[in-house]
Amino acid sequence: MTPTINFATSATLKVSTREKIAAAYKEILPIALNLLTDRLNLALPILFDDPSKNLDDLFPTAVQKTKFLTHLLPCVMEKAAKLVGVNYKYVDGIGYDVEFEVVDGEITVVIKVEEKASTMDADGSAASFATGNCYSQVKNHLHFCMRLVNEGNCFTKIFAAMVDPTGFKDPSSGWKKTGSGNSGFDTFHVSVLDFDCITPIMGTVKTVGKSNSKVKYCQVGYESLV
């Protein structure tokens, strides 16, 4: 039987395992985003009966775009994973979205991952790793966090990282409720004291702000995709 690590109860996560998951995501993401752009170019003119419309025209706010893309990302992520030979399965489980199979030494483990993707303006809050609804606050599995910047149907910038909430030492790390009900405005922050719980995938993570100013939360930076 394949061992399963449940990060809601696991006390530690091997750094080597987290790095292997991050490396797999780094292979998957560029392919998945290209597939997503292709599908948007094909589908949006048909769905809205207007060949001139793109993602920005139809969904002018970051929240609207994020909610729409949430329905499309699982399919393109799975397809990209198959293309690069990664064992990745979207399951939409209780408290997690993905099962990721990783070989660590002689053991094969199935990792449960909670995925959070956001579309944001390029000048969005550098302290926010991701956005989610009010139910995200109780999820404690390994987190894959992604922020995207788009121009029309193309994705021009990305930040992506793995975060292990079970390793948090600062109680201020985690989900911060900024909306009411299931508003989709809750944000995920990581204290500078919990920097060791982060494995960057694409983009940067810093423990200082602009001009090396002191900050409470880790600051994310984008990586160009063009």
Q: In this predicted model, what pLDDT tens digit does every residue of 168-207 receive, in sequence order?
A: 999 999 888 765 555 556 788 999 999 999 999 999 999 9
Q: Distance between CA atoms of 53 and 83, rounded to whole angstroms?
A: 30
Q: Distance between CA atoms of 163 and 4, rounded to whole angstroms?
A: 18
Place of tokens 């449960």: 112
DSSP state letter for 179: S
Express each pLDDT in 72-116 by its tens digit.
Answer: 998 999 999 999 998 888 887 666 788 877 766 555 556 667 767
Task: Give the highest mean pLDDT range of 49-53, 83-87, 120-124.
Answer: 83-87
What residues does each domain of the chain span? 4-224
**In the structure encoding, which two tokens stand for residue 111, read together?**
């990792």
**CB distance 178 to 131 below 8 Å:** no
Place of tokens 């956005």: 131
Q: Of 158, 167, 171, 138, whose CA–CA distance to 200 is shortest?
A: 158
